[in-house]
Amino acid sequence: MIRRNKKEFDAVEYMREQKKALAKKLENMTNSEILEYFRKKGLSGGVRPSGK
């Protein structure tokens, strides 16, 4: 019997949550609003590894 340790951080679950949140934000936007959103988002930075 294999016993798995509980993960402190599940990358797949995290990415699914992020995808759902982003889809919810974008679902009512027009194409031009979506482009503007990503232009602003790109300038503000993003997720960086904690070691850097």
**Whole-number pLDDT of residue 4:** 76
1-52 pLDDT, tens digit per residue, is: 677 777 788 889 989 999 999 999 999 999 999 999 988 887 666 666 555 4
**Whole-number pLDDT of residue 41:** 82
Distance (Å, rounded) from C-alpha 16 to C-alpha 12?
A: 6
Distance (Å, rounded) from C-alpha 14 to C-alpha 9?
A: 8
**Whole-number pLDDT of residue 35:** 92
2-12 pLDDT, tens digit per residue, is: 777 777 888 89
Residues 6+ apart with CB under 8 A from 37: 25, 26, 29
HEC sequence for 3-32: CCCCCCCCHHHHHHHHHHHHHHHHCCCCHH
Let me know how long the chain is: 52
